[in-house]
Structure 1
């Protein structure tokens, strides 16, 4: 089931990615790494709190040698 409009104060994976300027795969990676947690939805259609998505974008990410720096808008 795709949301026509997610519950107030929440974002789907696609909307979360659009809101912070990353790809949806990045949002899914944040979930896998424990940087971002789901607040509801279903396993295939998770929703995230707006505040959590913004905090995940600002969170310090581990870097590897030679990795390009992340530009924060």
Structure 2
């Protein structure tokens, strides 16, 4: 069951993606890469701290050879 409202100070995967301006798949990829950690929820419905999502958005992402560089705003 999806949270109607997640616990205070946390975001679901969909809300975290919306807040960061990325796709939900990107949030899941950040978790897989260790850039973002879950703070609770269930395995199918994780939640993330707002501060952790903001930090992950600012974190330097690992790059692959030949990957296009992203210009900082």
TM-score (norm. length: structure 1): 0.92
Any unmatched runs of 5+ in structure 2? none
Output one character per residue of 1:4-63: Cα deviation in whole Å (capped at 9) or x when no partner.
010110000000000010000000000011110000000000000000000001101111
Q: Distance in 2 between matches of 1:72 and 1:17?
A: 19
What is the aligned partner in structure 2 of residue 53 from structure 1? Answer: 53
What is the aligned partner in structure 2 of residue 20 from structure 1? Answer: 20
Which of structure 1's runs of 4+ aligned residues deviate more than 4 A?
A: none
What is the aligned partner in structure 2 of residue 43 from structure 1? Answer: 43
Cα RMSD over matched residues?
Answer: 1.2
Secondary structure of 2:48 counterpart: strand
What is the aligned partner in structure 2 of residue 62 from structure 1? Answer: 62
What count of residue pairs does the alignment treat as equivalent? 73
